[in-house]
């Protein structure tokens, strides 16, 4: 059975706090894109730690992605396909996507498991920002994507991130963990019980 761990709001807060200096010095983000639902709370907490005197708060834009396991109906096809579905995206026709052009964009999610979701987010955002830049004649402005997750599971990944993103350190995981199942506090229906479980495993 998969080992389960419980993470508290307090711990999430401190993981964001711990990573903020590195994010500020290495990425200098102008904008965050939070992948919902798991990326919303970390992005909001992180924003408080990325705020510097005299500078405005870093805006957060939200996208929603869901991972569906597709089990093939064809018995000859053994492979289980994986499909990411957009439940919320940035509008290409309005300013939402154009807002990203030429910026340092920090993509925030709670956990990097198979990496499928992150691969999808980076590939599709890069593609759509390039389209938005072309539509507005701003192809010359380079948009840099970086990633922050609370937890990265140390396991073989199905998805892949751009080579330069990894080699240039534009990927930060506050913690690297084994292939465990993490219970996050915002999923809890009984937060006291959740905190008790976290304390009992500490
Ligand atoms: P991926 O496999 O694409 O890296 O992760 C897809 C999504 O599955 C994550 O964004 C997250 O919502 C969910 N997920 C994967 N592993 C865990 C986990 O250990 N705990 C929770 N709560 N969600 C997870």
pLDDT digits (tens, 9 = 90+) for 148-166: 999 999 999 999 999 999 9
* Known catalytic residue at 91: no
DSSP 187: G
Asked whether 129 and 54 are in contact (CB, 8 A), the reply is: no
**Exposure b/e, 117-140, CB count within 10 A at least 16 = b:** bbbbbbebbeebbeebbeeeeeee
Cα(111) to ligand 1 centroid in Å equals 6
Can you give the residue range of the structural domain that contains 185? 4-201
Residue 113 Cβ contacting ligand 1 at under 6 Å: yes
Cα(198) to ligand 1 centroid in Å equals 19
Percent share of the chain, pLDDT over 70:
94
Residue 121 Cβ contacting ligand 1 at under 6 Å: no
In the chain, the number of structural domains is 1
Global confidence as pTM: 0.94
Active-site hit among 53, 109, 112, 113:
113
- In this prediction, residue 101 carries a pLDDT of 96
Asked whether 143 and 101 are in contact (CB, 8 A), the reply is: yes
Q: Rg of the chain over CA atoms, in angstroms?
A: 18
- Displacement of CA 122 from its chain's centroid (Å): 10
- Displacement of CA 124 from its chain's centroid (Å): 13
Is the backbone of residue 28 left (phi > 0), alpha (psi -120 to 50) or beta? left
Residue 45 Cβ contacting ligand 1 at under 6 Å: no
Domain CATH code at residue 195: 3.40.50.2020
- Host H or E run for residue 4: strand 4-6
pLDDT tens-place string over residues 172-202: 999 999 999 999 999 999 999 999 999 998 7
Cα(112) to ligand 1 centroid in Å equals 7
Residue 116 Cβ contacting ligand 1 at under 6 Å: yes
């Amino acid at each position: 059975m998969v080992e389960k761990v419980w993470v508290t709001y307090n711990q999430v807060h401190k993981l964001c706090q711990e990573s903020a200096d590195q994010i500020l010095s290495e990425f200098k983000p102008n904008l965050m894109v939070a992948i919902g639902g798991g990326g919303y709370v970390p992005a909001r907490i992180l924003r408080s730690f990325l705020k510097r005197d005299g500078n405005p708060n870093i805006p957060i834009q939200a996208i929603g992605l869901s991972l569906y396991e597709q089990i093939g109906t064809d018995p000859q096809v053994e492979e289980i396909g994986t499909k990411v579905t957009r439940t919320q995206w940035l509008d290409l026709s309005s300013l939402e996507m154009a807002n990203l052009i030429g910026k340092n964009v920090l993509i925030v999610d709670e956990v990097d498991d198979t990496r499928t979701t992150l691969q999808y987010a980076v590939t599709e955002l890069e593609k759509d920002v390039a389209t938005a830049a072309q539509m507005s004649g701003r192809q010359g402005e380079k948009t840099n994507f970086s990633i922050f997750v609370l937890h990265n599971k140390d396991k073989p990944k199905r998805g892949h991130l751009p080579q330069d993103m990894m080699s240039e350190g534009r990927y930060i995981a506050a913690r690297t963990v084994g292939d465990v199942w993490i219970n996050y506090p915002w999923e809890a229906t009984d937060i006291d019980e959740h905190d008790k479980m976290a304390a009992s495993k500490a």
